[in-house]
Amino acid sequence: MTIREHKEQREQAYLSPYAAKSINSAGRKLPSEKCDLRTEYQKDRDRITHCKAFRRLKHKTQVFISPEGDHYRTRLTHTLEVAQIARTIASALSLNEDLTEAIALGHDMGHTPFGHTGEDALDTLLPGGFRHNEQSARVVEHLENEGRGLNLTAEVIDGILNHRTSCNPSTLEGHVVRISDKIAYTNHDLDDALRAKILSSADFPEYINETLGKTPSQRIDFMVKNLVENSLNKPEISFSLDVAKITNELRLFLTENVYANMLLHHRERNKIQTMLRLLFEYYSENPQKLPPELTARMDNNPTQTVADYIAGMTDRFAMNSFSDIFIPEAWN
């Protein structure tokens, strides 16, 4: 018996009846040899961490444009915080930690440069709109690995595609990631907003402090414990009603006091949207300037191909491309 087969047996024996067992996976689109050491979901986790889109997350904005300071979250550190929270919850509920980790690490790989400002820009440029969760699924299914995709299991793709609030993932592990994403970003966006002095602690509603805790670590701990206590041995993942309510109020507070504030006052927002629109127009008119693996896909849907290229850019790659194309070079 291989080590992987031992692990599959352990999953059957020790995981919750509601957990996704790697041996029951609906599998991959293309046949792939099984590993002697790793389960199918561990293989997927490794395929994600070794791919280029994952590495580019370190230079993509979460909320605050990353060059502003070294301590703000980037899309990569956000992803790692989500994975850590999600694994803690999955492990406490005896769900499949490997599947949870794979979904968490891949969930934001379709995010554009410059966070939701970039997403909004692409959303207006594409006839069918742009949603980063769908783009994350495109990255793992079609774009990574020189356009061949990562050939992941159906459950990992499903969790990545359905990590947004309005979606309904097919596994509890997918639900754990969906909620862990919110636990992570509400707490770290708040922390970063205080760091950026967009908020002061005095603005923060006292009753939220009193219920959830005063520091990010106290709040995360409280939310995770409530979620675990309330979901133990149940076929669904949810907070207790009172905590669900106050968590929503915290998100609303952030929307009104941090995100909206940034949309209105962030002087860079218009510049970013103009820059991405001009790049989009430039590559639509000059498809020969796209990397060869993308030009090959151009015939299927040229607009989507240009969006794929721009969505894949890091903040600084977009700025450098813009500068190369549109800013005259000085004589040296």
- Point out which residues bind Mg ion (CB under 5 A): 108, 181
- Long-range contact set of residues 43-50: C-beta below 8 Å, sequence gap at least 24: 44/99, 44/102, 44/150, 44/152, 44/153, 44/156, 45/98, 45/101, 45/102, 45/105, 47/150, 47/151, 47/152, 48/102, 48/105, 48/106, 48/109, 48/140, 48/150, 48/152, 49/105
Query: Rounded to the nearest whole angstrom, what is the least distance from the CB of residue 283 to Mg ion in the complex?
Result: 26
Smallest distance from the beta carbon of 177 to Mg ion, in angstroms?
9
Beta bridge partners of 74: 61
* 197 Rama class: left (phi>0) / alpha (psi -120 to 50) / beta: left
Report the candidate in 172, 190, 185, 2 with the shortest Cα–Cα distance to residue 91.
172
Which CB atom, from 115 or from 149, has the smaller least distance to Mg ion? 115
Nearest distance, CB of residue 181 and Mg ion, angstroms: 4
- Least separation, in Å, of the C-beta of 311 and Mg ion? 15
CB of 81 to Mg ion, least distance (A): 9
CB atoms within 10 A of CB 195: 16
Task: Please say which residue, 108 or 144, places its beta carbon nearer to Mg ion.
Answer: 108
Quick one: 44 or 181, whose CB is closer to Mg ion? Answer: 181
Q: Which of 44/108 has CB closer to Mg ion?
A: 108
Nearer to Mg ion, 185 or 322 (CB): 185
Nearer to Mg ion, 42 or 133 (CB): 133
Q: Tell me the CA distances in angstroms from 312 to 54, 109, 119, 158, 222, one per residue in order.
A: 10, 8, 11, 20, 35
Q: Which is nearer to Mg ion, 8 or 108 (CB)?
A: 108
Residue listed under structure tokens 């690490």: 105
Alpha-carbon distance values, 159 to 29, 51, 175, 226, 324 (Å) = 16, 18, 8, 22, 38
Residue 74, φ and ψ in degrees, nearest 5: -110, 175
Q: How far is the CB of 289 from Mg ion (least distance, A)?
A: 31
Q: Any idea of the CA torsion for 240, 91, 168, 130, to the nearest 10 degrees?
A: 110
* Minimum CB–partner distance for residue 108 and Mg ion (Å): 4
